[in-house]
């Protein structure tokens, strides 16, 4: 055998030994998938039917889908359990947060996870319960859930999720180049009810203020009415309202039949008067 081939065989031998050492050290093993769970109040955590601890809980598992169940510490009143299936990705920590209440409708929470993408963009996907809620990014309305974008800058962003009749949620997230950040948000029904004050004995009740004008949304061909930043169909859409719902009238455009309403608390926009009418108080 020539000297050349002896050198080649020696180098190949060293190469195989190096690879064997790397395998032995676990260098080529798939990275574990992480999970972090927080809740209010604390809850018992079950993974694939096995009790594994209490919140706050943090651990690593093999990549793949797992069944998750959270049983809150009820205390004096029973609270609704939470069950879902979560896809855990290799090398990524999935973050789950839950606020428990007496019913599922009054409970809220979010699941935040990353997954690699072929490109280098920082992508974002927002899924909501209920569906079709309004999504705002860094204070600017962007559309409705399910929402996707790949035009965000890398770094920290504020994600606002809101819908009439639900408690608004705001999340702070960090996008990464080459990854899609998926946010699954569960909004809680707003159960706040303003009690009617009763007059104390011997004290005259305060006169009820005159009711403000309201706008009734009429039936539309597509089942909703678009809310826009200006009194024109060319103006940007910033929200949607449902037929049969009533909203506070803010302004009426003198040149058109468009009406400005408060469609969310503190947020106003314009709707076409063709599918909305001002209600006169009795």
Q: How confident is the model at residue 151 (pLDDT cuts 50, 70, 90)?
A: confident
Q: How confident is the model at residue 261 (pLDDT cuts 50, 70, 90)?
A: confident
- 209 pLDDT above the threshold of 60: no
DSSP 8-state code for residue 281: P
Distance in angstroms (rounded) separating the CA atoms of residues 71 and 247: 39
What confidence tens digit (pLDDT) does each residue in 8-17 have? 567 666 666 6
Please choose, from the candidates 139, 193, 166, 126, the residue with its C-alpha nearest in 3D space to the C-alpha of residue 264.
166
Residue 127 vs residue 29, higher pLDDT: 127
The contacts of residue 247 (CB under 8 Å, 6+ apart) are 214, 215, 217, 241, 261, 262, 263
Residue boundaries of the structural domains of the chain? 31-100, 113-191, 214-279
- 206 pLDDT above the threshold of 50: no
CATH superfamily for 214-279 is SH3 Domains (2.30.30.40)
In terms of pTM, does the model score above 0.75?
no
pLDDT of 56 reads 93
Please choose, from the candidates 243, 245, 231, the residue with its C-alpha nearest in 3D space to the C-alpha of residue 273.
231
Distance in angstroms (rounded) separating the CA atoms of residues 167 and 187: 6
The fold of the 31-100 domain, in CATH, is Immunoglobulin-like (2.60.40)
Say yes or no: do domains 31-100 and 113-191 share a fold: yes
CATH superfamily for 113-191 is Carboxypeptidase-like, regulatory domain (2.60.40.1120)
* Report for 11-15, 21-25, 224-228: range of highest mean pLDDT: 224-228
3-state helix, strand, coil in the chain (%, to 5): 10, 50, 40
- 172 pLDDT above the threshold of 70: yes
């Amino acid at each position: 055998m020539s000297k050349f081939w002896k050198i080649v065989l020696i180098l190949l031998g060293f190469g195989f030994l190096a690879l064997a050492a790397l395998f032995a050290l676990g260098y080529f093993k798939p990275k574990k998938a992480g999970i972090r769970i927080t809740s209010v109040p604390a809850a018992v955590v079950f993974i694939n039917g096995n009790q594994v601890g209490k919140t706050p809980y943090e651990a690593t598992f093999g990549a793949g889908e797992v069944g998750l169940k959270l049983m809150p510490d009820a205390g004096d009143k029973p609270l609704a359990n939470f069950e879902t299936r979560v896809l855990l990705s290799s090398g990524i920590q999935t973050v789950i947060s839950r606020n428990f209440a007496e019913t599922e409708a009054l409970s809220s929470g979010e699941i935040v996870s990353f997954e690699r993408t072929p490109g280098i963009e920082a992508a974002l996907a927002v899924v909501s319960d209920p569906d079709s809620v309004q999504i705002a990014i860094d204070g600017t309305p962007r559309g409705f859930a399910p929402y996707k974008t790949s035009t965000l800058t890398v770094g920290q962003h504020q994600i606002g999720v809101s819908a009439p009749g639900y408690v608004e949620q705001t999340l702070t997230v960090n996008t990464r180049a080459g990854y899609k950040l998926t946010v699954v948000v569960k909004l809680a029904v707003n159960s706040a009810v303003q009690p009617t004050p009763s007059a104390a004995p011997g004290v005259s009740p305060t006169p009820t203020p005159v009711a403000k004008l309201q706008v009734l949304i009429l039936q539309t061909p597509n089942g909703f009415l678009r809310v826009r930043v200006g009194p024109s169909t060319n103006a940007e859409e910033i929200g949607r309202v449902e037929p049969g719902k009533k909203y506070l009238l803010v302004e009426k455009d003198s040149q058109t039949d468009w009406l400005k309403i408060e469609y969310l608390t503190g947020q106003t926009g314009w709707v076409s008067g063709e599918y909305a009418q001002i209600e006169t108080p009795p």
